[in-house]
Chains A and B, each alone.
Chain A
Amino acid sequence: NAGVTQTPKFRILKIGQSMTLQCAQDMNHNYMYWYRQDPGMGLKLIYYSVGAGITDKGEVPNGYNVSRSTTEDFPLRLELAAPSQTSVYFCASSYLPPRWLNEQFFGPGTRLTVL
């Protein structure tokens, strides 16, 4: 199993550009998450999904959009990139929700810089 994969690993955007961060998992997990981690800060939840076709906002959803058309894929869309979106983005998945003390598996991250 490849686990959770993310592309690209690095990206530099200009202000106002758009891009999609790709995330895929091959563990047949229903639950998927997008987090951002700013330097010296904790991870913050952007969006999450409890299954194909179902998504919900996390703590910091503004400026982002997601879709979940399949169990495997959970892309994160940035529209009109801003410097405040410079961060490391982690995608994660889990078989069960956190209430079952279930492990979240993280991808290697995408390092995004907006200039």
Chain B
Amino acid sequence: RKEVEQDPGPFNVPEGATVAFNCTYSNSASQSFFWYRQDCRKEPKLLMSVYSSGNEDGRFTAQLNRASQYISLLIRDSKLSDSATYLCVVREGGADGLTFGKGTHLIIQP
């Protein structure tokens, strides 16, 4: 069974701090990886794709570890506006659909 596992949190983090969370996936044939952000009662929106060599977009850094089958998201200098649920998303090899994790709830506190 295909699984994408995330710690649901909530992670309560003071503004300005650095926070990181991981996501593990069960299917070693998974080939595409993404982080989506979902605000309360809103639709998911792409935060960043995750490349094999890791990638950075401003305060956000994503890493992929194929050997251990996990991806990570690091947020530096966290802002109040970063409060949201972060969804780990994986594409299984050969498929056009995506498998979503349940999400990690992040709360940035002033």
Q: Give which listed residue, B45, B97, B102, contacts A42 with CB less than 8 A.
A: B102
Q: Which residues of A contact B98 (CB under 8 A)?
A: 33, 43, 45, 98, 104
Residue numbers of A with Cβ under 8 A of B are 31, 33, 35, 40-45, 48, 50, 56, 58-59, 90, 97-99, 101, 103-104, 106-109
Tell me the complex Cα distance, A97–B97, Å: 8
Interface size on B, residues (CB 8 A): 23
Tell me the complex Cα distance, A63–B71, Å: 34
- Is B31 an interface residue, CB under 8 A from the partner? yes
| Chain B: CB-nearest residue to A43 | B100
A98 engages B43 (CB within 8 Å)? no
A108 engages B32 (CB within 8 Å)? no
Tell me the complex Cα distance, A59–B98, Å: 10
